Amino acid sequence: MMKGLLFTLESFIAILMIFFIIILLFQNPPASSEFNRINYKLKAYNGLMALEKTGELRKDAVNNNAISIQNKLNPYLPDFLNYTVVIFNETTNITAKPSLSLTNDSISVSYFLAGDVDDFKPREIRVYLWGY
Amino acid sequence: MGILMKNKGQMFIIVAVIMIVVLVILKTGVNLPDIMQKNRESEGKFEHDFFVNVVDELTKTIDVSYYQPINITNNVYSFANFTRKKMTEHLQDFQFLYVSCITPKSSGSDTMNVSVITMLNKPINATLRISTSLVQSGNNDNMMDMSIWNTNFTITQGNNYILTVGYNGTYSENITIQTKTNGSVYVGFFDTTLIGSETTYKDKFQKNYTLP
């Protein structure tokens, strides 16, 4: 009887194993980390484009207001993602760059602006993203 | 065979493990081409949007410099230089040819100033020819990369002209100029190329402005 019980238990375990693996494999499509990186870059870029359409990005860039851009980007990016906005002029960064350690896997996205009405001021808005 | 019959339960588990391994391999193998294709599409879309941003802002340079017409062409040069340097940092190659024409607010015969900006990664032999009644032309035999060539032609305000820009005997584009009597006109011709990781993006167009 013990043999029979053992046999049944082992079969049951085998069926459970296959069942759970099938659920795990087919529940969500597996995503490569590289695809996620590009996805996050696109989200940040689309956020910058949306702000540019409203004119907010341009005004903040010309006024070197990286904090304002950072706050306005918040709704466009996932909560778990860390990010910092840095503004560059033709020669150097005007606002502080993030101090990312060598272990941080980070990506960045750039958006260029020529300036605002009657105020030619070339700017690069660079968004650094990490923590994905 | 006897051992196999004795350990039927364990055989189930071993077969289950083998099936799991096969399922995982199949699942990963089937999705990998999809994932790689999505990667490429996303990267391509990103590069295209980036190119559109640069081209739009090059045009915007004229808009933001509108009330200081004397600075427009130099500002276009500065902005193109700025974005080009940044793109080089991202291992992208941005090439740019720009021709601007500006006429003063006057009537009758006057001078049209023409400037050519080249950022083509090579020196060029640039030529200009304008369809005035007596054809006028000019050339710059050894126009270095990242340089501006300034020249001028005599025109009659109110007339329309075709300015042909060429270089190295292989490139030729026509720019239409509609001058105005007692009106200052600015025409900008853009020829932009971005060589990305997998695709090359090009755009060529002309913008016309009546200056204040």
Structure tokens at B50: 């980036």
**How high is the pLDDT of residue B11?**
82
Residue A70 lies in a domain: yes
CB contact under 8 A, B82 and A122: yes
In angstroms, the CA A121 to CA B187 distance is 22
Domain total for chain A? 1
Residue B89 lies in a domain: yes
* pTM of the model as a whole: 0.81
Residue B3 lies in a domain: no
Q: Whose CA is closest to B190, among B94, B125, B124, B123?
A: B94
Residues in A closer than 8 angstroms to B63, CB to CB, are: 114, 117
Q: Which of A6, A90, A110 is closest, CB to CB, to B9? A: A6
Q: Which residue has the tokens 């840095």?
A: A86
* Residue at A89: amino acid letter: N
**How high is the pLDDT of residue B63?**
95
Instruction: Give the chain B residue whose CA is nearest to the CA of A53.
Output: B53
Domain that residue A98 falls in: 32-130
Residues in A closer than 8 angstroms to B79, CB to CB, are: 114, 120, 122
Residue A12 lies in a domain: no
Instruction: Give the chain A residue whose CA is nearest to the CA of B72.
Output: A120
Does position A107 have pLDDT exceeding 60, yes or no? yes
Domain that residue B53 falls in: 36-211
Q: Calculate mean pLDDT across residues A88-113.
A: 85
Q: Which of B9, B20, B45 is closest, CB to CB, to A11? A: B9
**How high is the pLDDT of residue B1?**
54
Does position B169 have pLDDT exceeding 80, yes or no? yes
Q: Which of A112, A124, A126, A128 to mutate to test the interface with B (most CBs of B within 10 A)?
A: A112
Max mean pLDDT among A99-113, B38-52, B173-187 falls in: B173-187
* Higher pLDDT among residues A26 and B75, named by residue: B75
Neighbour-count burial for A50-77, b at 16+ CB within 10 Å, e otherwise: ebbeeeebbebbbeebbebbbebbeeeb
* Higher pLDDT among residues A105 and A48, named by residue: A48
Question: Looking at the complex, does the CB of residue B61 fall below 8 Å from at least one CB of chain A?
Answer: yes
Does position B177 have pLDDT exceeding 90, yes or no? yes
In angstroms, the CA A126 to CA A112 distance is 9
Residues in B closer than 8 angstroms to A49, CB to CB, are: 49, 53
Q: Which residue has the tokens 């602006």?
A: A113
Q: Calculate mean pLDDT across residues A23-31.
A: 66
CB contact under 8 A, A112 and B53: yes
Q: Which residue has the tokens 């040069």?
A: B77
Give tens-digit pLDDT for B44-58.
888 898 899 999 999
CB contact under 8 A, A45 and B46: yes
Residue A22 lies in a domain: no
Rg of chain B over Cα atoms, rounded to whole angstroms, equals 29
CATH assignment of the domain containing B156:
2.60.40.10
- Closest chain A C-alpha to B36 CA, distance in angstroms: 8
Give tens-digit pLDDT for B1-31.
555 555 666 787 888 888 888 887 877 766 6
Mean residue pLDDT across chain A: 87
Q: Calculate mean pLDDT across residues B126-155.
A: 94
CATH assignment of the domain containing A58:
3.30.1140
Mean residue pLDDT across chain B: 90
Question: Looking at the complex, does the CB of residue A29 fall below 8 Å from at least one CB of chain B?
Answer: yes
**Are A81 and A40 contacting, i.e. CB atoms less than 8 angstroms apart?**
yes
Residue B27 lies in a domain: no
Helix (H, G, I), strand (E, B) or coil at B48: helix
In angstroms, the CA B190 to CA B194 distance is 13
Which strand (E) or helix (H) includes residue B171? strand B171-178
Q: Count chain A–chain B contacts defined by CB atoms under 8 A.
A: 112
Residues in B closer than 8 angstroms to A45, CB to CB, are: 46, 49-50
**How high is the pLDDT of residue B185?**
96
Q: Which of B60, B70, B197 to mutate to test the interface with A (most CBs of A within 10 A)?
A: B60
* Higher pLDDT among residues A2 and A68, named by residue: A68
**How high is the pLDDT of residue B21?**
85
**How high is the pLDDT of residue B31?**
67
Q: Calculate mean pLDDT across residues B85-94.
A: 87
**How high is the pLDDT of residue B6?**
59
In angstroms, the CA B11 to CA A7 distance is 10
**Are B11 and B160 contacting, i.e. CB atoms less than 8 angstroms apart?**
no
The pairing of beta strand B171-178 with beta strand B160-167: antiparallel
**Phi-psi map region of B184: left, alpha, beta (phi>0 left; psi -120 to 50 alpha):** beta
Cβ neighbourhood burial of A33 (10 Å; 0-12, 13-18, 19+) = exposed
Residue B109 lies in a domain: yes
Instruction: Give the chain A residue whose CA is nearest to the CA of B86.
Output: A124
Helix (H, G, I), strand (E, B) or coil at A31: coil
Q: Which of B31, B46, B64 is closest, CB to CB, to A118? A: B64
Domain total for chain B? 1
Helix (H, G, I), strand (E, B) or coil at A26: helix
Residue A27 lies in a domain: no
Give tens-digit pLDDT for A42-78.
899 999 999 999 999 999 999 999 999 999 999 999 9
Residue B151 lies in a domain: yes
Residue B100 lies in a domain: yes
**How high is the pLDDT of residue B113?**
97
Q: Which of A10, A34, A49 is closest, CB to CB, to B39? A: A34
Q: Whose CA is closest to B75, among A42, A121, A75?
A: A121
Structure tokens at A72: 């306005």
Residue B7 lies in a domain: no
Q: H helices within B65-126, ranges in order?
A: 72-89
Q: Whose CA is closest to B96, among B59, B125, B123, B121?
A: B121
Q: Which residue has the tokens 């990781």?
A: B197
Residue B129 lies in a domain: yes
